[in-house]
Amino acid sequence: MSKIQRLLVANRGEIALRIMKTAQAMGIHCVAVYSEADAKAPFVAAADTAIAIGPAAPSESYLNVERILSVARQQQVDAVHPGYGFLSENTRFAEACEQADIRFIGPPASAIAAMGSKSAAKALMEQAGIPLVPGYHGDDQRLERFQAEAPRIGFPLLIKASAGGGGKGMRVVRQLSELDEAIAGAQREGLSSFGDDHLLMERYLEAPRHVEVQILFDRHGAGRYLFDRDCSVQRRHQKIIEEAPAPGLRDSTRQAMGEAAVRSGEAIGYVGAGTVEFLYDPATEDFFFMEMNTRLQVEHPVTELVTGLDLVEWQIKVAEGTPLPWQQSELTCRGHAMEARIYAEDPAQDFLPQTGVLHTLREPNTLPQVRVDTGVTEGQEITPWYDPMLAKVISWGENREQSRLRLMEALRRYHADGVTLNTGYVHDVLGHPAFAAAELTTGFVDNYAADLRAAAFTPLERKALSWLAWYLETALTGDDDPWGMADGFRLNGQREPQPCEVRLADSALSGRYTLAADQRSAHLQLGDDSLQLSWAATTDGAVTVELKGPRHHQVRLDWALRGARLAVFADASQWHAWVNHPELQAGAVTDDTELTAPMHGRVTALHCQPGDLVTAGQPLLVMEAMKMEHTLRAGADARVKAVHCEVNASVAAGQVVIELEPNDGTTT
């Protein structure tokens, strides 16, 4: 087949930039398509040609097959790369590209169709002799059938959207009484995210690992496995940390899993890069087919770092007809790689997706053996329209421990102000003793929830570090007038204690600080507590701080000032502070009688109306934001006073959607 000269990238964000980086290095002209919401996004600027294709809503832009193909024909492209998500596993899109004589950089439409339905895929894998978890994958989607199958499968069980992925349309059910609500929610989410509400059920293994195998097939029938990855650490069934190779597997298990993955591809006539996902039981060393992703995975960089291969390059070469040049025995896995996904989300609020403007963005892309695949830039607005993953930070080391420590250091240097990120949380996962010991399961986040909720710094330490950031940012700037310096300098060489007030989002303390003569240490008294700080500058503009108080430890400190608000970056933690600004308040008081939308989104279900009596914990409203469902529940027994929204209505962050009043005991 001929070389690809012009490539349309039918995606956005991080993966669009990743594809274009390799394609442009291969001398290929890259065409980007973008929505109105992404007009100023970095991938648009990086493209050789960029074409607007519609409004922000994915259905009117990135999922609009006709519009994308129209651009492909107009631009006379040779091929389309779909990335991951959106149309990457859409059979109709692959077929339309084939009919238009445009190469689809992925498998044939028939292979996508075979794996597109989890139910059909499991039936095919069973025929290929690959072990499956017990479950129900039938076409009878009546509630009564699910109710009958659930006891046979056994609890706990997992409900999945058959056409789904990324944890969407997925529910864990632990008893029969939870089944009906879980099925309704999974069907709604499956229909919203994939246009298909077909579900399957299977036994939920309590402590498995999620191990997947990267495969690559050429157009001549040759297939190879490029080793394995562990993706067990997940929240909401979505991965946050991935590593290659999967630690702790016997060589015989690793080989058996790889060979099973190749057989999976052979069974459907696969072409290109794909991933076969397995559930692995460490106790028995058994593995079970879970699903096959007929596209490039988010976590493909860890495989690239341990194999030395560029998977996007090989996707393009396969599309051009190049045969795979290696035998399986010639492929090697060197060292260890780890990846952390950077999400705009708040782990303290059950990983609620966040929006805002990236007023400050500092990425650790200069550290040795660290790679940052990013889709955002400073000043960019993060909207609610798309998946909240902004970037990936990937490390490589000679061994797992070296890679882990490098990734932790990289996260200590990833700073953003304006949008809450998960960097601190992921850093704490990497630092957890169980993770360091490779004691991995898909329940890791839940199993160690209490540990991972623990704050890295005490309130006193947070206030002390906030004061120091303020002092270093503001107190020694300006002119050289010693009388204007906030260091308490006196002509006799002594320094007097100076007053200060430090306010965080939830508390404030007044105190005094006394600087040492060298202005590299200080004694800080806040309320009834005190501690000693000393600091030294780093080569990249931050400082290393020694904290001596109730405990003694070292911290990397950085900051960004925006107006009166100071963003403080301490190791991988972040918070906002106001120093010597007692008039500023951080947030409004919450009224417990009002339920407000946690962020901009769309109401998908209402479970109450004015006059209803509701009980604590009862679901009252379901909304969708950033492709995830969020349920608002009653905080106490009450009566519904008013409902200020309706199904399918858009609501703004902070908007009051339901008013409650105390239940006076009367009935309606």
Question: What pLDDT, on a 0 to 100 scale, did the predictor assign at position 237?
Answer: 83
Question: What pLDDT, on a 0 to 100 scale, did the predictor assign at position 436?
Answer: 98
Mean pLDDT of all residues in 611-619? 91
Mean pLDDT of all residues in 627-649? 87
Tokens of 545: 């701080």
Question: What pLDDT, on a 0 to 100 scale, did the predictor assign at position 626?
Answer: 54
Name 392's bridge partners: 341, 373
Span of 10-24, 97-111, 587-601 with lowest mean pLDDT: 587-601
Cα of 85 vs its chain's centroid, Å: 13
- Res. 491 pLDDT band, cuts 50 70 90: very low
List b or e across 89-109, with b for residues whose CB sees 16 or more CB atoms inside 10 angstroms: bbbebbbbbeeeebbbbbbbb
Main-chain dihedrals φ then ψ at residue 475, nearest 5 degrees: -70, -30
pLDDT digits (tens, 9 = 90+) for 639-649: 999 999 999 99
Question: What pLDDT, on a 0 to 100 scale, did the predictor assign at position 25?
Answer: 98
For the chain, the farthest-separated pair of C-alpha atoms sits apart, in whole angstroms, at 89
Question: What pLDDT, on a 0 to 100 scale, did the predictor assign at position 203?
Answer: 86
Whether 274 and 205 have beta carbons less than 8 Å apart is answered as no
- Res. 584 pLDDT band, cuts 50 70 90: very low
Tokens 């389309």 sit at which residue?
80
Give pTM, 2 decimals.
0.81
Question: What pLDDT, on a 0 to 100 scale, did the predictor assign at position 616?
Answer: 86
Span of 356-365, 568-577, 590-599 with lowest mean pLDDT: 590-599
pLDDT at 146 over 80: yes
Whether 331 and 311 have beta carbons less than 8 Å apart is answered as no
- Res. 193 pLDDT band, cuts 50 70 90: confident
pLDDT digits (tens, 9 = 90+) for 504-561: 887 888 888 999 988 899 999 988 899 999 999 999 889 999 999 888 889 999 999 9
pLDDT at 485 over 50: no
Which has more confidence, 668 or 449? 449
pLDDT digits (tens, 9 = 90+) for 588-604: 233 468 888 876 778 99
Average pLDDT, the chain: 90
Q: How far apart are CA 77 and CA 344, in angstroms?
A: 34
- With pLDDT > 90 as the criterion, what percentage of the chain qualifies? 73
Question: What pLDDT, on a 0 to 100 scale, did the predictor assign at position 586?
Answer: 30
Whether 654 and 596 have beta carbons less than 8 Å apart is answered as yes
- Res. 581 pLDDT band, cuts 50 70 90: low
CA distances from 659 to 165, 608, 635, 641 (A): 35, 11, 12, 5
Tokens of 521: 């240490």
pLDDT at 478 over 50: no
Q: CB 283: neighbour CB atoms within 10 A?
A: 7
Helix axes 118-127, 251-267, angle to 10 degrees: 110
pLDDT at 178 over 80: yes
CA distances from 549 to 130, 553, 568 (A): 58, 9, 20
Q: How far apart are CA 580 and CA 35, in angstroms?
A: 43
Which has more confidence, 105 or 634? 105
CA distances from 421 to 354, 389, 411, 415 (A): 8, 10, 11, 9
CA-CA-CA-CA dihedral for 80, 82, 88, 90, to nearest 10: -40
pLDDT at 492 over 50: no
SS3 557: strand
Q: How far apart are CA 627 and CA 116, in angstroms?
A: 19
List the domains of the chain with CATH numbers. Answer: 6-105 (3.40.50.20), 134-203 (3.30.1490.20), 209-453 (3.30.470.20), 459-579 (3.30.700), 594-661 (2.40.50.100)
pLDDT at 582 over 50: no
- Res. 48 pLDDT band, cuts 50 70 90: very high
Tokens of 535: 């600091």
pLDDT digits (tens, 9 = 90+) for 21-41: 999 999 999 999 999 999 999
Question: What pLDDT, on a 0 to 100 scale, did the predictor assign at position 482?
Answer: 33
Helices (H) and strands (E) counted in the chain, each on its own, are 17, 41
Tokens of 449: 């929830």
Whether 553 and 531 have beta carbons less than 8 Å apart is answered as no
Of how many residues is the chain composed? 668
**Residues belonging to the active site:** 295
Question: What pLDDT, on a 0 to 100 scale, did the predictor assign at position 628?
Answer: 61
DSSP state, residue 329: G
Whether 135 and 202 have beta carbons less than 8 Å apart is answered as yes
Q: How far apart are CA 601 and CA 653, in angstroms?
A: 8
pLDDT at 481 over 60: no
Question: Pairing between strand 638-643 and 656-661?
Answer: antiparallel
- Res. 328 pLDDT band, cuts 50 70 90: very high
pLDDT digits (tens, 9 = 90+) for 204-260: 888 899 999 999 999 999 999 999 999 999 998 899 999 999 999 999 999 999 999
Name 558's bridge partners: 569
Question: What pLDDT, on a 0 to 100 scale, did the predictor assign at position 7?
Answer: 98
Name 51's bridge partners: 33
Which has more confidence, 99 or 168? 99
Question: What pLDDT, on a 0 to 100 scale, did the predictor assign at position 535?
Answer: 96
Span of 136-140, 328-332, 361-365, 644-648 with lowest mean pLDDT: 136-140
Helix axes 65-74, 91-99, angle to 10 degrees: 30
pLDDT at 667 over 60: no
Edge-to-edge, what's the strand order for the sheet holding 272-281?
Answer: 286-293, 272-281, 209-217, 223-230, 241-244, 336-343, 389-397, 370-374
